[in-house]
Chain A
Amino acid sequence: MSCDPTNPSDAIWWCGKCDVALEMGKVNIGYLGSMFPVDLLRCPKCGQAFIPEELAMGKIAEVEKLLEDK
């Protein structure tokens, strides 16, 4: 699961709290005892992450179902 760093829309996101541009980095997301490192845009100062709609409603929803059905 990763964002496309070449996507220009990814470069326009700023952290509203720290006033800095988001950068690609590893973010852990977990569910039902499993943890996955994911490449996501995140604030380099406070760590606030950005999960795009396509990722949340796509791959993340799929993984949630897989883990729930296990």
Chain B
Amino acid sequence: MLDGLGLPKDPPSAVPEVAAVHDACSTRHERQIHDSVRRILGRVGLEIEELPLSREHTECCGYGGLMFFANPDLAKSVIQRRMEESPADYIAYCAMCRDYLASRGKRTLHLLDLVLGAPWDEAAQRRGPGYTQRHENRAHLKSRLLKELWGEGMAEKTGHELINLNISADLQEILEQRLILAEDIQQVIAYAEKTGRKLLNRQTGRFLAHHKPAGVTYWVEYSLGEGEFIIHQAYCHRMEIVEDRAQ
């Protein structure tokens, strides 16, 4: 569409001479998209560097097939290999490709950054949202679209969604690696506080509770703060505990 209709804004002023295009694997057989992207980049004044494997031979960014979730170490090495193919800044046109390449420190912009006139360096260097932030961004987007386009509202937050969490930056990093959402933690605390099913560490005064909302059991170590729950640790497993009443 952008290729046909033209760009809505002036391109960013500080555009480097050369950038490399990273084609998304889902467009592998979409030659038209490959050509359109390159025409748009040409229109903003960029000389395009073709990576050794591009277009129908393009490589995965580490997200394809949910590789990052199934085998994070393999995904990291795939990203690393891809990002080392050129020292030039990359242009991606898939949000996941953009964020996965950026997650390993590769300067990567999304095509829309150019179209919308984002400052080049800022867009190239920014890290993608974390696991929880991406989840929340999607919810915010849905809420805005419902409100602004369809005039509908989303249900007010209830139950576990109202629980305030205090999570340190260090623990947030661990939660990212363990793929634990803030919402998972809220659900555990809501369940524990409602049912009383929690353990107490008499030495630290902290609680430890677990809950299995669907396939995964989440454990949360927490204490009570001023109008919030302070989270000290969280972990999870897929094995199921059979907690029979003691004989």
Contact = CB atoms under 8 A, between A and B. Distances in A.
A47 B244 contact: yes
A11 B205 CA distance: 14
Measured as residues with beta carbon below 8 angstroms from the partner, the interface class of chain A is 20 to 34
A57 B195 CA distance: 26
A14 B239 contact: no
B148 interface: no
A64 B239 contact: yes
Measured as residues with beta carbon below 8 angstroms from the partner, the interface class of chain B is 20 to 34
A42 B245 CA distance: 10
Given A50-B208, A53-B219, A27 B235 contact: no
A50 B244 CA distance: 13
A28 B198 contact: no
A22 B196 CA distance: 15
B243 A16 contact: no
Given A13-B202, A50-B199, 11 more contacts: A13-B208, A15-B200, A16-B196, A16-B200, A17-B198, A28-B241, A35-B242, A47-B243, A48-B197, A49-B241, A56-B237
